[in-house]
Amino acid sequence: MTPTETDARTEFQRAEERTAHNYHPLPVVVQHAEGAWMTDVAGTRYLDLLAGYSALNFGHGHPELTRVAREQLEQLTLTSRAFVHDRFADFCAALGDLCGKDLVLPMNTGAEAVETAIKVARKWGYEVKGVPPGRAKILVMTGNFHGRTTTVVGFSDDPDAHNGFGPFTPGFQAVTYGDLAAVEAAIDEDTVAVLLEPIQGEGGVVIPPDDFLPGVRELCTRHDVLMVADEIQSGLGRTGRTFACDHSDVVPDVYVLGKALGGGIIPVSAVVADRDVLSVLRPGQHGSTFGGNPLACAVGAAVVQLLGTGEPQRRATELGVVLRERLEAMVGHGVLDVRVRGLWAGVDIDPTVGTGRDVCEALMARGVLAKDTHGSTIRLAPPLVVSEEDLGWGLDQLAAVVGG
């Protein structure tokens, strides 16, 4: 090992020694990144095929986003919502317009935005739909991932996420993801919302049957139930459209957004809906000290502007064709199955090749960083700014690793 590689190993061990082991990171210590490439402390370069779980859709150090952030840092960073600041209106208007909705409620992290949507749906249920007090029910999906707070992990069926963290918040009922009849059967007069991911990211990029989202939309309209789409990972360009729901021509009542909304710079999340839904919140009933802060709003507005050009969506569509072709050619050669939507893929590794983790370690040795999910699946979500050449090279490395 060169001295720098020894340093890198030491740095990794130091990090592991002084943190709770709630993650199992690959043994790399990143120091710098630009576009789709990261460089570790030893100077080794890696192609990023995870993009911060889609928080880095626009790549590392996007010039326009970092310029806006830098300028805002010099100007104003926090007022709290006790005072209005001059970046707030533009962000809310721009994001509301992008979603085709009246109102925006900014928060920070994805889980917080999901919690916010749950509170809003319940309050809407009592005040608008007329559900008797304490009875509001929210339908959720099997295989869901909506974050890590106690309420949210309470309705997760992933044992790692769920077990040992109870007692849990009541009021949720799980139905099989993709099963429209199950959704219909579970809706009753106390049902206030159906909460779903239009594509399940953490679940392994699971795409529901074509009729599922339109069917849920129709059921929600018919039974006066809010359709709440958690587009935190699937939204903002990843699938080749602004929202994954767009592929089905479905408009949910509530969008829950996060991850890429912060441009990979700062946590920014939001709940976006029309006035009849979000106006159920009145002063003092919900809040966040950092939610909608000037820096977040400046970056978030720049992200919305970027999406307004349609360029990130176009790249995701074009590169997604390459991704699909290359991955489908690997099926039967170390890969059991692939699911692709835009520049986003779940790749099920043949267990005879190794675990997802084994494959990610082998990829790392070849200069590619990716992340396994649920044992044998690898989720590929390169920054949308990756070049076609680099993407092809990264997929060459995957083919070499799984194909032996």
Ligand X SMILES: *Cc1c(COP(=O)(O)O)cnc(C)c1O
CB of 152 to ligand X, least distance (A): 8
- Give the contact letters, 90-109, x = binds to ligand X (CB under 6 A), - = no: -------------------x
220 close to 195: Cβ distance less than 8 angstroms = no
> Which range touches ligand X (CB under 6 A), out of 16-24, 63-71, 167-175, 226-234?
226-234
DSSP secondary structure of 291-306: TT-HHHHHHHHHHHHH
Under the binding rule (CB under 6 A), the answer on residue 303 touching ligand X is no
Helix residue ranges per DSSP H, 132-189: 150-154, 159-162, 180-186
Asked if 253 and 274 touch (Cβ cutoff 8 Å), the reply is yes
Active-site positions? 145, 230, 259
The C-alpha R_g of the chain, in whole angstroms, comes to 21
Quick one: 234 or 376, whose CB is closer to ligand X? 234
Contact criterion met (CB below 8 Å) for 299 and 305? no
111 binds ligand X per the rule CB under 6 A: yes
Q: By CB under 6 A, is residue 360 in contact with ligand X?
A: no
Q: Which is nearer to ligand X, 46 or 145 (CB)?
A: 145
Q: Residue 249 Cβ, how far from ligand X at the closest point, in Å?
A: 21
Answer for which of 46, 58, 91, 145 binds ligand X (CB under 6 A) is 145
- Measured from each CB, the residue nearest to ligand X is 110
Between 109 and 397, whose beta carbon lies closer to ligand X? 109
Regarding 115 and contact with ligand X (CB under 6 A), the answer is: no
CB of 200 or CB of 397, closer to ligand X? 200
Question: Is the Cβ–Cβ distance between 357 and 377 less than 8 Å?
Answer: no
Q: Which of 40, 48, 115, 202 binds ligand X (CB under 6 A)?
A: 202
Nearer to ligand X, 8 or 113 (CB): 113
Q: Does 48 bind ligand X (CB under 6 A)?
A: no
Q: Could you say which of 230, 253, 348, 372 contacts ligand X (CB under 6 A)?
A: 230
Count how many residues are written for the chain: 404
Closest CB to ligand X among 157 and 396? Answer: 157
Residues that contact ligand X, how many (by CB under 6 A): 16
Contacts 24+ apart (CB under 8 A), 2-5: 2/42, 4/41, 4/42, 4/43, 5/42
- Contact status: 232 vs ligand X (CB under 6 A): yes
**106/95 Cα distance (integer angstroms):** 10
User: Cα–Cα distance between 288 and 315 in angstroms, integer?
Assistant: 35
Choosing from 106, 154, 198, 201, the residue that interacts with ligand X (CB under 6 A) is 201
Q: Is 327 in the site for ligand X (CB under 6 A)?
A: no
Quote the CA–CA distance of 279 and 127 in Å, as a whole number: 11
Q: Is there a cis peptide before residue 133, judged by omega within 30 degrees of 0? A: no
What gap in Å lies between CA 330 and CA 320, rounded to an integer? 15
Which residues contact ligand X (rule: CB under 6 A)?
Answer: 53, 109-111, 114, 145-147, 197, 201-202, 230, 232-233, 258-259
